[in-house]
Chains A and B, each alone.
Chain A
Amino acid sequence: MDARRMSRAVPRVRQVGFFTPNTPAQQPQPQSAAPSSESPPLSDSPASNSLSPVMIPPPRHLSDNLGGRTAAVPVPGRENSGELPTVGSYNPSESVLWLDSPPRSRIGDVELSEGAESSLGWYRRSDSAKFASSLPSGGFNLSTAKHPESVAAVEAKNPLPEQSEAQKEQASSSKPLKAKTTKAERRALQESQRAAKAASRAQANKSGTPGGASSSKPMKQPPQKKDGPPVASSIAASERIGVDWSVEKERKKDLPPPRKQFDDESRGGRAKRRSVLNQPEARNRVELFRHLPPHKNGTQLPYLGSKFFELHEKHPAVYKVGLQYLAGDLSGGNARCIAMLQAFQEAIRDYSTPPEKTLTRDLTSKIGGFVSFLIECRPLSMSMGNAIRFLKSRIARLPLTLSESEAKTTLCSDIDRFINEKIVLADKVILRHAATKIRDGDVLLTYGSSCVVEMILLYAHELGKQFRVVVVDSHPMLEGQKLLRRLLVKGLSCTYTQLNAISYVMHKVTRVFLGASSIFSNGTVYSTVGTASVAMVAHAFRVPVLVCCEAYKFHERVQLDSICFNELGDPDAISKVPGRVDVNYLDNLTDKQKENLELLNLKYDATPSDYISVIVTDYGMIPPTSVPVIVRGYRKEYLLI
Chain B
Amino acid sequence: MDFQVVVLAGGNSKNLTPLVSKELPKPLLPVANCPVLNYVLHQLEQSNLKDLIVVVEGEDAALLVGAWISGTFIDRLHVEIAAVPEDIGTAGALRAISHHLTAKDILVVSGDLVSDVPPGALAATHRRHDAAVTTMLCSIPVSGPLESGSSGGKDKAKKLGRYNIIGLDPSKQFLLHIATEIEKDARISKRILHAVGQMEMRSDLMDAHMYAFKRSVLQEVLDVKDTFQSLKEDVLPYLVRSQLKSEALLNRTPQGEENSNEKVSSQNNQAFISRILANASTPSFHGIYSENPDGSSSTRKTHKCCVYIASSSSYCVRLNSIQAFMDINRDVTGDADHLLSPNNIIGPSPKLGTKTTVGPNCRLGEGSEMGDKCQVKRSIIGRHCRIGSHVKVVNSVVMNHVTIGDGCIIQGSVICSNVQLQERVELKDCQVGAGFVVTAGSEYKAESLAKKEK
A-to-B contact residues, CB < 8 Å: 301-302, 304-310, 312, 316, 319-320, 323-324, 327-332, 334-336, 338-339, 419-420, 423-424, 427, 449, 451, 454, 482, 486, 489-490
- Chain A residues in 8 Å Cβ range of B281: 324, 329-331, 335
With A310-B48, A316-B2 as contacts: A486 and B118 at CB distance below 8 Å: no
- SS class of chain A's interface: helix, strand, loop or mixed? helix
* CB interface residues, B 117-143, toward A, < 8 Å: 118-125, 127-128, 130
User: How many Å from the CB of A623 to the closest CB on chain B?
Assistant: 27
- Mark out the residues of chain B between 1 and 59 whose CB falls within 8 Å of any chain A CB in the assembled complex: 1-3, 47-49
Contact of A329 among B273, B276, B282 (CB under 8 A): B282
Q: Are B125 and A330 in contact (CB under 8 A)?
A: no
- Cα distance A304–B48 in the bound complex, in angstroms: 14
B293 — which chain A residues lie within 8 A by C-beta? 489
The answer to whether B118 and A336 touch across the interface, beta carbons within 8 angstroms, is no
A486 CB contacts on chain B under 8 angstroms: 279, 295
Q: How far, in angstroms, from A414 to B56 measured CA to CA in the complex?
A: 49
Nearest-CB distance from B419 to chain A (Å)? 41
**Are the CB atoms of A335 and B128 closer together than 8 Å?**
no
Give the complex CA separation of A402 and B438 in angstroms: 79
B331 at the interface (CB under 8 A from A): no
Q: List 11 A-B contacts (CB under 8 A).
A: A301-B124, A302-B121, A305-B118, A305-B121, A306-B121, A308-B47, A309-B120, A310-B47, A330-B281, A419-B269, A454-B279
A323 with B48: in contact, given A339-B277, A424-B273 (CB under 8 Å)?
A: no
Closest chain A CB from B290 CB (angstroms): 13
CB distance from A237 to the nearest CB of B (A): 30
Give the residues from 256 to 314 in chain B that come closer than 8 angstroms, CB to CB, to chain A. 266, 269, 272-273, 276-277, 279-283, 291, 293-295, 308, 311
Contact status B280-A330, CB under 8 Å: yes
Q: Which of B121, B123, B294 contacts A489 (CB 8 A)?
A: B294
**B: which residues have CB within 8 A of A?**
1-3, 47-49, 104, 118-125, 127-128, 130, 266, 269, 272-273, 276-277, 279-283, 291, 293-295, 308, 311
How far, in whole Å, are A128 and B441 apart by their CA atoms in the complex? 98
Evaluate contact between B127 and A323: CB separation under 8 angstroms: yes
> Which residues on the A side are within 8 Å of B124 (C-beta)?
301, 304-306, 308, 319, 323
- Find out whether the CB atom of A306 lies under 8 angstroms from the CB atom of B120: yes
In the complex, the chain A residue whose C-beta lies closest to that of B310 is A302
Q: Determine the chain A residues whose CB is within 8 A of the CB of B104 once the complex forms.
A: 316
How far is B311's CA from A419's CA once the two chains are assembled, in angstroms? 40
Report the separation of the CA atoms of residues A324 and B308 in the bound assembly, to the nearest whole angstrom.
16
A323 to B131, CA, bound (A): 14
Q: Please name the residue on chain A nearest to B277 by beta carbon.
A: A335
Distance between B311 CB and nearest chain A CB, rounded to angstroms: 7
B44: min CB distance to chain A, Å = 9
CB-based nearest A residue for B120: A308
Not counting A309-B1, A451-B280, a sample of 15 additional A-B residue pairs whose C-beta atoms are within 8 angstroms of each other reads A301-B124, A305-B121, A309-B119, A310-B120, A323-B127, A332-B276, A332-B279, A338-B276, A339-B277, A427-B272, A449-B279, A451-B279, A454-B279, A489-B294, A490-B295
CB of B3 within 8 A of CB of A309, answer yes
CA–CA, A316 to B283, complex, Å? Answer: 22
> In whole angstroms, how far apart are the Cα atoms of A587 and B75 in the complex?
54
Give the distance to chain B from A478, nearest Cβ to Cβ, in Å. 11
Most chain B CB atoms below 10 A, which of A304, A306, A334, A336: A306
A residues within 8 A CB of B121?
302, 305-306, 308
Q: Which residues of B contact A332 (CB under 8 A)?
A: 276, 279-280
With a CB–CB cut-off of 8 A, which chain A residues contact B311?
A: 302
Complex partner residue of B295 from A301, A329, A489, CB under 8 angstroms? A489
Alpha-carbon gap, A335 to B277, bound state (A)? 5
B400 to A: closest C-beta gap in Å? 34
Distance (whole angstroms) from the CB of B440 to the closest CB of chain A: 53
Q: Which residues of B contact A427 (CB under 8 A)?
A: 272
* Distance to closest chain A CB from B260 (angstroms): 14
- Report the Cα distance A307→B121, complex, angstroms: 7
CA distance A420 to B273 in the complex (A): 9
Within the assembled complex, what's the spacing in Å between the Cα atoms of A329 and B279? Answer: 11
In contact, B273 and A305 (Cβ under 8 angstroms): no
Q: Nearest Cβ distance between residue B120 and chain A, in whole angstroms?
A: 3
> Closest CB of chain B to A364's CB: distance in Å?
23
- Min distance, Cβ B5 to any Cβ of chain A, angstroms: 9
Query: What are the residues of chain B within 8 A of A301 when measuring CB–CB?
Result: 124
Q: Is the CB of A336 within 8 A of B295?
A: no
Of B122, B266, B279, B280, chain A has the most CB atoms within 10 Å of the CB of B280
Q: Is the CB of B272 within 8 A of A334?
A: no
Using CB atoms, name the residue of chain B closest to A425. B269
Q: Is the CB of A482 within 8 A of B283?
A: yes
CA distance A296 to B127 in the complex (A): 20
Residues of chain B contacted by A454 (CB below 8 angstroms) = 279
Q: Specify which chain A residues have a CB less than 8 angstroms from the CB of B47 in the assembled complex.
A: 308-310
Q: Is the CB of A305 within 8 A of B125?
A: yes
A329 CA / B282 CA spacing, docked (Å): 5
CA distance A316 to B104 in the complex (A): 11
Q: Which residues of A contact B277 (CB under 8 A)?
A: 330, 335, 338-339
Instruction: Name the residue of chain B whose CB is nearest to the CB of A306.
Output: B118
**Complex CA–CA separation, A336 to B280 (angstroms):** 8
Cβ A335 vs Cβ B279 within 8 A? yes
Q: Using Cβ atoms and an 8 Å threshold, which residues of chain B touch A334?
A: 276, 280
B173, chain A: closest CB distance, angstroms: 10
Q: How far is the CA of A113 from the CA of B118 in the complex (A)?
A: 43
Selected from B123, B279, B308, the residue in CB contact (under 8 A) with A309 is: B123
Whether B279 lies near A305 (C-beta < 8 A) is no
Contacts of A449 in B (CB 8 A): 279
B128 adjacent to A338 (CB under 8 Å): no
**Residue with the greatest number of chain A CB neighbours at <10 A, chosen from B125, B279, B291:** B279
**Could you say which residues of chain A place their CB within 8 Å of the CB of B130?**
320
CB nearest to B129 among chain A residues: A329
Please name all residues of chain A whose beta carbon is closer than 8 Å to the beta carbon of B122 when the two chains form the complex.
305
Q: With the chains together, A223 CA to B12 CA distance in Å?
A: 66
- Indicate which residue in A302, A304, A424, A489 contacts B272 across the interface (CB closer than 8 Å): A424
List, in ascending order, chain B residues with CB within 8 A of A490's CB.
294-295
Which of A308, A330, A338, A339 lies in contact with B123, CB distance below 8 A? Answer: A308
CA distance A305 to B1 in the complex (A): 12
Chain B residues closer than 8 Å to A338, beta-carbon distance:
273, 276-277
**Nearest CB in chain A to that of B173: its residue:** A327
Q: Are B120's CB and A305's CB within 8 A?
A: yes
| B137 to A: closest C-beta gap in Å | 14
Given contacts A323-B128, A489-B291, whether A312 and B1 have CB atoms under 8 Å apart is: yes
Q: In the bound complex, do residue B128 and residue A324 qualify as a contact, i.e. CB atoms below 8 Å apart?
A: yes
Question: In the complex, what distance in Å separates the CA atom of A305 from the CA atom of B121?
Answer: 4
Contact, CB under 8 Å: A319 / B280: no
Question: Could you tell me the distance in whole angstroms from the C-beta of A320 to the nearest C-beta in chain B?
Answer: 5
Chain B: minimal CB distance from A31 (Å)? 53
CB B378 to nearest CB in A, in angstroms, measures 31
> How far, in angstroms, from A303 to B2 measured CA to CA in the complex?
20
Closest Cβ–Cβ distance, residue A137 to chain B (whole Å): 47
Nearest chain B CB to A275 CB, angstrom units: 17
Q: Roughly how many angstroms separate A339 CA and B130 CA in the complex, as a whole number?
A: 14
> B267 to nearest A CB, angstroms?
12
Q: How far is the CA of A454 from the CA of B128 in the complex (A)?
A: 26
Task: Give, as a whole number of angstroms, the nearest-CB distance from B389 to chain A.
Answer: 49
**Chain A residue with Cβ nearest B123:** A308
Q: Nearest chain B CB to A484's CB is how many angstroms away?
A: 12
Contacts A305-B120, A310-B120, A489-B295 given; indicate if A419 touches B273 (C-beta within 8 A): yes
CA distance A335 to B120 in the complex (A): 26
**Which of the listed residues B122, B276, B279, B293 has the most CB atoms from chain A within 10 Å of its own CB?**
B276
Residues of B with C-beta under 8 A to A305? 118, 120-125, 308
CA of A420 to CA of B125, assembled, Å = 30
Bound form: Cα–Cα A301–B128 in Å: 10
Q: CA A332 – CA B127 in complex, angstroms?
A: 20
Which A residues lie within 8 Å of B119 (CB)? 308-309
Contact A319 B295 (CB under 8 A): no
- Complex CA distance for A137 and B176, rounded to whole angstroms: 70
Residues of A within 8 A of B272 (CB): 424, 427
